[in-house]
Structure 1
Amino acid sequence: MLNFTPVAHFVLGAYLDIGLLKYPVFVLLLLWYAAILASNLLLIAVICRSRSLHEPMFVFVCALFINEVYGSTAIFPMLLSQILHEEHVITRAACLLQIFCLYSYGGIEFNMLTLMSYDRYLAICRPLHYNSSMTPTKMAALLALAWGHSLLMNLIIIYGLTGRLSLCRNIIDKVYCDNFWVVRLSCSDTTANNIFGLVNVLCSLLCLIGLILYSYGRILRVCLRSSKSARQTALGTCVPHILSILNFAFGALFELMQSRFDMSTVSTPLRVFLSLYWLTVQPLASPMIYGLKMTKIRQAVQELLRRKCHSQNQT
């Protein structure tokens, strides 16, 4: 039997010793986090307050913004704290919690983007049946499925499988906790982790990617047969979703490369950027993409700001 010392904490080994530069980096990341919170919370408030936006498409977008706040809050506070500390240590309990939050954020994000593509398919390819197909009850059920599936699967993976492992080492070569790294540090049998994780990822990815490709394939087919004005309207509602999907897929690919392949030949700053891209860029990109590209949301934001300025001028 292997001898091991119970691991109570982890050392995050990818932080660089940048001296006094840590303070401007801290300020930059703090401003980035503030921009994420401000933009997402503003659009959540706008969608909730504007009756004209109480449609399935905008409700799904609102749920996406809520997930961006959830995901960014799982990474930024800890990141900001670690930058200012000399020793980059995190307890095992806090590490597992962060892994759960980050992985469930990624799962919910992919589920929501898939759900939004399905909603656009119904609206464009089956417009006469849209209201009967996307009822409030069905919309609530789809939202519960999108969030519940990711939370449940990651609860099983992180706390049911990874949490039970006996660990021989405690150095994670990243700036945040990662399930793949924790499993690599184990000196006990990880077969169940590998099989369950692989089956879950493959099944989820195949189903979600298949539904996205089917939805946009049908939408493209309808657009090619439609008039120019109808085609422009359809593409106008789909472009934000496509941009968001591509940006998230780009970041997820970076993370996959960082975790699964030998990146020793790549500089540490670039590796840190690759691992953080999907967690830091997507939460700010989503409100920018939807806020700028969706006319109704943009008009609602402008109206809200006008009313705020008008009320302030009166006082």
Structure 2
Amino acid sequence: MENSSEVVSFVLAAYGNVGEFKYMYFVIILFWYLSICVANTVLILVIRVDRRLHEPMYLLLCNLCVNEINVSTSLYPLLLSQMFSDSHEVTLPWCFIQMSCLYTSGSVEGCSLAAMAYDRYISISHPLRYNVIMNTERVFFMILFVWIYSFLSVILSFSFIFSLEFCGSIIENVYCNHRLIIRLSCLVSVHSFLSDIFFLIVSIFIPFTLISVSYVKILAVCRKTSTENKQKAVTTCAPQIVSVSNLFVGSVFQSIDSSVIVARVHVRIILSTYLFICQPMLTPFLYGFNLPKIRQSCKKLLFKKKQ
């Protein structure tokens, strides 16, 4: 066992020896990362340029796209750099920064989807008062609250990790996972368990509860409306339901990955990175191809005829 004073960096052992495949992995990861950035940036620009999209629903979607770029940037540059590393070492400060960014982005994802679900509930349940209730000031306040709430929840949950002494340095993953880091500490206290529970409640349970409440109320309203209104509700809510479902599946995979110590390395990599791989790419294409106004705006900007 290593002495705590000697641990100044962690080794991301899940990379293993990529050998001659490192160039292929590098190209695949780089292509995926650039695709995520381009797809989300295009959607942000479309919403920014087209004034018809300056509505609460699309402003919240724009915030979600910003978060997808943020979470991808927190992960993929490290993956790319590690492809050509022989030691796969990450310094403690950098590891803590990555962990904070990843989990803050995860919390922002859930809270943003909760805000979007509430927006759809107001739109369907109170259409005549929608513009009054979801005014621009309230939307920007919701976005600001989502980021502050997520940042504070992560800091309050994991700040104790910064002061831990470590008797191990091997992380069986491709990024800095907080549960795996805690297992390397010389003394694991009840505080670590309570902080994990606190994070699960404030960053996962509460957003999913708010989302569920919003959609239960939407279903209750749809039962009393016409078939045409029901179809319109399904069209606008379907992308969010898919996003929420994928986020829930990814969260479950994260829990399984961190809880099952005996999981094989390749299984751990798939489970732990599923959410970071799929969700950032799912968001722009899911909303871009399913929302009529987004499609029309994209066609107008990309295939604009010369005057």
Q: TM-score, normalization: structure 1? A: 0.93
Matches of 1:240 and 1:6 in 2, distance apart? 49
Equivalent residue runs for 1:98-247 within 5 Å: 98-158=98-158, 160-188=159-187, 190-247=189-246
- Measured in 2, the distance between the counterparts of 1:156 and 1:218 equals 32
How far does residue 269 in structure 1 lie from its aligned partner after superposition?
2.0
CA contact (8 A) 2:253 2:274 kept: yes
SS at match of 2:83: helix
| Structure 1 consecutive aligned stretches of length 4 or more whose deviation exceeds 6 Å | none
CA contact (8 A) 2:110 2:203 kept: no
1:144-188 Cα distance to aligned partner (Å, 9 max, x none): 111111112222334x31101111111111011111111111113
Deviation at 1:42, TM superposition (A): 0.4
For residue 19 of structure 1, report the CA deviation from its aligned partner.
Answer: 1.7
Q: Which moved more, 1:86-95 or 1:203-212?
A: 203-212
- Deviation per CA, 1:198-256: give whole Å up to 9, x if none: 12322443322221111111111222222111111111000000011111111111111
Residue of structure 2 in register with 1:288 after alignment:
285
Task: Work out whether 1:23 is the aligned partner of 2:17.
Answer: no
Residue pair 1:167, 1:186 contacting (<8 A) in 2 also: yes
Could you say what secondary structure the match of 1:84 adopts? coil
Where does residue 91 of structure 1 map in the other structure? Answer: 91
1:7 corresponds in structure 2 to 7
Separation in structure 2 between the aligned mates of residue 190 and residue 112 of structure 1, nearest angstrom: 32
Alignment correspondent of 2:269: 272
* Per-residue deviation, residues 4-52 of structure 1 (Å, max 9, x unmatched): 3242100011113232111111101111111101100000000011100
Q: Distance in 2 between matches of 1:52 and 1:249?
A: 32
State how far apart, in whole Å, the 1-side matches of 2:160 and 2:242 are.
35
**What CA distance in whole angstroms lies between the structure 2 residues aligned with 1:262 and 1:177?**
15
Match for 2:107: what amino acid?
G
CA contact (8 A) 1:183 1:190 kept: no
Residue 51 of structure 1 aligns with an amino acid whose one-letter code is: R
Q: C-alpha separation between the residues in 2 aligned to 1:155 and 1:11?
A: 24
For the aligned residue pairs, the C-alpha RMSD in angstroms reads 1.7
Whole-angstrom CA distance in 1 between matches of 2:87 and 2:29: 19
Check the 8 A contact 1:291/1:298 in 2, yes or no.
Answer: yes
Whole-angstrom distance in 2 between the partners of 1:260 and 1:269: 15
How many residue pairs end up in the alignment?
A: 306
Structure 2: how far apart are the matches of 1:19 and 1:206?
41
Paired letter, 2:161: T
Unaligned ranges ≥5, structure 2: none
- What is the aligned partner in structure 2 of residue 262 from structure 1? 261
Query: Residues 30 and 101 (structure 1 numbering): CA distance in 2 closer, same or farther, change over 3 Å?
Result: same
Does 20-29 or 103-112 show the bigger shift? 20-29
Inter-partner Cα distance in structure 2 for 1:200 and 1:19: 38
177 and 206 in structure 1: CA distance in 2 versus 1, 3 angstrom threshold = closer
What corresponds to 1:41 in structure 2? 41
- 1: CA distance, partners of 2:178 / 2:246: 23
Moved more, 101-110 or 202-211: 202-211
